[in-house]
Amino acid sequence: MSINTALIEWSFSVVERRADQLSKYFYAHLFHHNPGVRHMFPEQMDEQQDRLFAALTAAAMNAADPEALVAYLRPLGFDHRKFDTRPEHYPAVGASLIAALKMFSGDAWTQEIEEAWVAAYGLISQVMIAAAEEVPASTPRWWDAEVVHHELRTGDIAVLTVRPHLPYPFEAGQHAALTVPEAPQVWRPYSIANAPRIDGSLEFHVRRIERGRLSTALVDRVRSGGSVRLGPAIGSMTLQPDSGHGLLCVAGGTGWAPVKAIIEAVAALPRPGEVRLILGARTEREVYDLDGLERLAKTYDWLDVTAALPPEGGEPEEADAELLRQVGEYARNRPGRQVYVSGPSGMVRAVEKQLGALGFDPDHIRRDAYIHQHSTDRPTSPAEWFLSKRDIPWIHSR
């Protein structure tokens, strides 16, 4: 199927500055014409508003690379089973997408543009439906789990241990979408902070985000004895076959969670290679999992841990330069090492740029595109949308 991605990107640029109104129209159109799907979404839509629309546009704009597109869409098709998504839902979403784009394109909308979007969405839905249908019928759409431990580590970070009622398959470094009764139908992805355990328990590190309904519920309201619901484990930030030759792990904030899981997975290898962990933090308070970190460092002699903190009396931002200095110092003479990076998106991009300048193969750098991205306040007015430059399509598609 030939898809005119250049035309799709151009048409999207026409509506870019009206994205807020466009996404509202998209959902209004979807719910008006398909009231039966409304229960699949949270009652309050302000956090949800960009998510589905952004994922659709991200996929459409990357349709020129079929291999990457399929790699991006297959996990989404698998994951969307947790919403009880059916094949008959896809045409309804596609119709609302086209209607919203057409409405806000005005005279710029043409039959050729419509055909390009219809073709792109047809490919998107085809791949996602096929991925969902390949899942064995015995595989749950979601897993219910009991919260067996809840610990507030700082004023805004909690560590939760949950135990699913059914076996939960995953690999170290993957993430799962969570929801709780305290924030119904609000799903957000969180990295699993451990390698598979004999008792089947899972650990999650959650930072409260301002006006974040789910993160606030997980930090402030959920307690031991409560319940969570898990979507399937997805993500490609997993241990690679040649990881026994040595790793560089760089983590910041709650991005420590998947890196911790990777280190535990290395420990299970017959002959673990050297692992250098560089933990970035602007203040000592941000090193919220110090006990777990020290326990790993004392247990494994192949693990070398350093912290990138600002110098005594220095400014917090100086920690950023220190982290990049340490990354460069270690990586300069180890161009073939596998690298795992997790943390705020600004940190991840800076580390990737630093490694690129040192000649690192991008395929040796593992990071999760959907987790631990820096969040800024969402524009709330047309003026703010106009003045705030937005990354299209608001999520990283890698």
Q: Is the pLDDT of residue 394 over 80?
A: no
Residue 146: pLDDT band with limits 50, 70, 90: very high
Residue 374: pLDDT band with limits 50, 70, 90: very low
Per-residue pLDDT, 243? 66
Q: Is the pLDDT of residue 40 over 60?
A: yes
Distances (CA, A) of 355 to 127, 227, 321, 365: 33, 41, 14, 9
Per-residue pLDDT, 385? 38
Closest CA relative to residue 235, chosen from 375, 50, 371 = 371
Residue 185: pLDDT band with limits 50, 70, 90: confident
159 close to 205: Cβ distance less than 8 angstroms:
yes
Per-residue pLDDT, 392? 36
Per-residue pLDDT, 50? 64
**Distance separating alpha carbons of residues 108 and 72, to the nearest angstrom:** 30
Residue 198: pLDDT band with limits 50, 70, 90: very high
Per-residue pLDDT, 377? 45
Written as six digits, the tokens of 12 are 């999207």
Share of the chain above pLDDT 90, in %: 45
**Distance separating alpha carbons of residues 91 and 34, to the nearest angstrom:** 11
Q: Is the pLDDT of residue 236 over 80?
A: yes
Summarize pLDDT for 300-350 with one digit per residue, the tens: 999 999 989 888 777 888 888 999 999 999 988 887 789 999 998 889 999
Q: Which domains does the chain have, with CATH numbers?
A: 5-137 (1.10.490.10), 143-230 (2.40.30.10), 243-366 (3.40.50.80)
Summarize pLDDT for 211-234 with one digit per residue, the tens: 888 999 999 999 999 999 999 998
